[in-house]
Structure 1
Amino acid sequence: MTDEAATPALLKDILGPQALETIAGAGTAASPHFDRGAFLSAASDGLDALSIMERVRHIADALRVALPRDYPAALDIIRSMAPRLTHGFQAIAVTEYVARYGLDDFDASMAALADLTCFGSAEFAIRPFLARDFERALATMIRWAANENEHVRRLASEGVRPRLPWAGRVPALKSDPTRAAPILESLKTDPSLYVRKSVANHLNDIAKDRPDWLLDRLAGWSQDDPRTAWIVRHALRTLIKQGDPRALALIGVGHGAAVTVGHFSVAPSSLRLGERIAIAAEITSTSSGEQRLVVDYRVHYARAGGKSAGKVFKLRSFELAAGETAKLGIGQTIRDFTTRRHHPGRHKVELIVNGQTMAESAFDILPG
């Protein structure tokens, strides 16, 4: 059985006092013109109260205090600092300096971001350039899609994602999330899994706003190349969880399945926050041939006022032979996340096979 991954509770501490010392040391090693004391003073002031991305911006502003006012000179130091950093988020904070102070020097800043992304992704720093001059920035990123470095190719896709988490929205992508299609086409057979994951996530973003466009586009992609087939499967995950027949067909799955559910349970039937449920199912094929099955489960989380909100989780995808029975199981700890809060009450759980609900169960979260 597997458990749901948790987000680190103190993510912001990645950019804590030790990180500031590392960044200061990198600046001092890079240039005698870096003011270590000024940086540490400015960066430490008010740091405790800030979230992780607020700290990214705060550190970038502290770098402004420590670096020469001449932007090209400061940029040379920034580029020399990057290889001396010890964590990707330190580098993200350094790339943010380019986003905040380099918008008026497009060519030098974009070239710097292509270099800096190799040490910590420049996906957030690229967004202001896309917002300022979308066509020019996009043209640069289309060229990046052919770069020999996988980090730069990944930035070409990730930086222009319509719904990039934690990032500012770009007006041109909000009005048309398909604008980066040439980049996605260029990368659909990329040899790097790092890049392919970004392409799949980018396409999954589009699925939430333009599902028909996505389905039409992916229907035209040959899946003879396993790299493309991998992207298609992961790009369609939102639509597959919704049971979209066209999405299921694109991964070779029919809508619905010739199966019976002999057993579906959630145990215990009641628990308190912080405790664990076990979900178990037994599925038997009634088909005369082998079937491709995509099995998910949907938890309807209780909300205030008697309402509920459903969330679909992956259970298993597999081939089931004629007459064969498969026993499935998964565990999940019921705890609060920043993106999901739990409330006492009845939580219905559905077993979904190839987009169709086949069985239901439930559990109760007790008060306190």
Structure 2
Amino acid sequence: MNDIGQTPLLKDLLGPAALARIAQAGEQSSPHFDPIRFHGALGDEFAQLSIMERVGRIGDALHAALPLPYEQAVAVVCQMGRAVDQGFQGISLSAYVARHGLEHPERSLTALADLTRFGSSEFAVRPFLIRHPDVALSYLRRFADDKDDHVRRLASEGTRPRLPWAARIPALTDDPALAAPILERLKADISPYVRKSVANHLNDITYRHPDWALTLMEGWQGGAAPTAWIIRHALRSLIKAGHPRALALVGAADRVCIAVAAFQVAPTVLRLGDRLCIGVEIVSTGQQDQRLVVDYRLHYARPGGKAAGKVFKLKNVDLPPGRRVKLEISQVIRDFSTRRHYPGRHRVELIINGAVWAEGDFTLLT
């Protein structure tokens, strides 16, 4: 249990209440489900496991609790999906398929398309891409045409080269063209949920194959508004790095004629829970309209004197000749389950079209 005032741990989403709910869903779905075997198979060390370790352990516990042939057991697990009430509970159900259905790829991939509606199957589909790449890609390309946006998203998210928390798939990492038919099909999807996945997929590709990704997106220029949004979001890493082709794709130049009249980081001393405010005034010194992509990089203090930088979006602006613009943004400095703050000096850089134009700092107290 966490101390009062601490940020809840992500792994606690699969705590006692969630386990009870999954067991209840099993009992509701089949008279063959054994809740005692389910809880017993979780193990005494379950509380020490991370969130994804818990997901895998629950998948194995479902196998122990359902002593049925796979075709029958997976049907029960799919039925359970309709009774769970939280995303990671659904992800745990799909883990059963990934860990115990690899010898039944067609039935398992169909089950994952069903289960992804209750908790994404993006992690569970990846073992099938490794063991049965041709079959899995064939199914995922079909998923891209599904009427359900959760299933369409699975086609894109499950094939991401750098999916967080997931094992890399060398074939997809080395050859982004394998998933290109999926991206083409979804490039103007009506669902923002799907479009965000496509943009994240393309952003993943830019780390190893930037020219391939840029060529693909250059071919998409002039398309529908949803496609334009995907392009902008997919280019974020390249734009933060000042990549000329990426900047050109969003109508920005890698060299701009501007002056930073003021850059302020306040207050200069904060504690956790305080709000950091960042302000900048930019003046055009050029003779033409300029599109500016304005970001800021926060270098978080780390133990041992090291720092870890993270770039945040400030705003994209079109600046006419001789004009000036004032931009402001603020964020609360607090701990998350995925980010812990440490005391010390935190540096803040102003980034415009990929280049650093100004710098400030603040000190975070314990």
Is TM-score (shorter-chain normalized) higher than 0.5? Answer: yes
Give the AA of the match of 1:21.
Answer: A
Shift in alpha-carbon separation, 1:178–1:365, aligned structure 2, 3 A: farther
Identity of aligned residues (%): 57
Unaligned runs of 5+ in 2: 1-5
Deviation at 1:77, TM superposition (A): 0.8
Q: Distance in 2 between matches of 1:352 and 1:49?
A: 41
Q: Distance in 2 between matches of 1:292 and 1:360?
A: 21
Aligned residue runs from structure 1 range 70-219, under 5 A: 70-219=69-218
Q: Are 2:298 and 2:347, in contact at CA under 8 Å, matched by a contact in 1?
A: yes
Tell me: higher relative CO, structure 1 or 2? Use CA pairs within 8 A at least 6 residues apart. 1
Which residue does the alignment assign to 2:291?
A: 292
Question: Deviations for 1:314-365, whole angstroms, at most 9, x for unmatched residues?
Answer: 1111223343322212223445556555555544322122222222223344
- C-alpha root-mean-square deviation of aligned residues, in Å? 2.2
Deviation at 1:61, TM superposition (A): 1.0
Give the AA of the match of 1:311.
Answer: K
Which residue does the alignment assign to 2:319?
A: 320
Give the AA of the match of 1:279.
Answer: I
Q: Distance in 1 between matches of 2:131 and 2:335?
A: 38
More deviation in 231-240 or 146-155? Answer: 146-155
Aligned residue runs from structure 1 range 254-269, under 5 A: 254-269=253-268
Which residue does the alignment assign to 2:226?
A: 227
Q: Are 1:146 and 1:153, in contact at CA under 8 Å, matched by a contact in 2?
A: yes
DSSP-derived class of the 1:84 partner = coil
Shift in alpha-carbon separation, 1:35–1:344, aligned structure 2, 3 A: closer
Q: Are 1:264 and 1:281, in contact at CA under 8 Å, matched by a contact in 2?
A: yes
DSSP-derived class of the 1:220 partner = helix
- Name the count of aligned residue pairs: 361
Q: Are 1:144 and 1:153, in contact at CA under 8 Å, matched by a contact in 2?
A: yes
Which residue does the alignment assign to 1:46?
A: 45
DSSP-derived class of the 2:208 partner = coil
Q: Distance in 2 between matches of 1:149 and 1:224?
A: 23
Aligned residue runs from structure 1 range 351-362, under 5 A: 351-362=350-361
Q: Are 2:9 and 2:337, in contact at CA under 8 Å, matched by a contact in 1?
A: no
Aligned residue runs from structure 1 range 243-262, under 5 A: 243-262=242-261
Q: Distance in 2 between matches of 1:43 and 1:363?
A: 46
Deviation at 1:142, TM superposition (A): 1.1
Q: Are 1:33 and 1:68, in contact at CA under 8 Å, matched by a contact in 2?
A: yes
More deviation in 300-309 or 346-355? Answer: 300-309
Give the AA of the match of 1:54.
Answer: E
Shift in alpha-carbon separation, 1:86–1:290, aligned structure 2, 3 A: same
DSSP-derived class of the 2:220 partner = coil
Q: Distance in 1 between matches of 2:290 and 2:135?
A: 48
Q: Distance in 1 between matches of 2:90 and 2:18?
A: 10
Give the AA of the match of 2:26.
Answer: G
Q: Distance in 2 between matches of 1:159 and 1:56?
A: 17
Q: Distance in 2 between matches of 1:311 and 1:36?
A: 45
Q: Distance in 2 between matches of 1:116 and 1:136?
A: 19
Unaligned runs of 5+ in 1: 1-6
Q: Distance in 1 between matches of 2:36 and 2:328?
A: 56
Shift in alpha-carbon separation, 1:348–1:26, aligned structure 2, 3 A: closer
Q: Distance in 2 between matches of 1:248 and 1:308?
A: 27
DSSP-derived class of the 2:349 partner = strand
Q: Distance in 2 between matches of 1:9 and 1:244?
A: 38
Q: Are 2:162 and 2:204, in contact at CA under 8 Å, matched by a contact in 1?
A: yes
Deviation at 1:179, TM superposition (A): 2.5
Deviation at 1:288, TM superposition (A): 4.2
More deviation in 233-242 or 333-342? Answer: 333-342
Q: Are 1:178 and 1:206, in contact at CA under 8 Å, matched by a contact in 2?
A: no
Deviation at 1:171, TM superposition (A): 2.6
Q: Distance in 1 between matches of 2:203 and 2:333?
A: 26
Shift in alpha-carbon separation, 1:25–1:338, aligned structure 2, 3 A: closer
Q: Are 1:17 and 1:44, in contact at CA under 8 Å, matched by a contact in 2?
A: no
Aligned residue runs from structure 1 range 56-71, under 5 A: 56-71=55-70
DSSP-derived class of the 1:69 partner = coil
Give the AA of the match of 1:188.
Answer: K
More deviation in 51-60 or 351-360? Answer: 351-360
Which residue does the alignment assign to 2:8?
A: 9
Shift in alpha-carbon separation, 1:44–1:87, aligned structure 2, 3 A: farther
Which residue does the alignment assign to 1:3?
A: none
Q: Are 1:61 and 1:97, in contact at CA under 8 Å, matched by a contact in 2?
A: yes
Q: Distance in 2 between matches of 1:131 and 1:261?
A: 50
More deviation in 180-189 or 345-354? Answer: 345-354
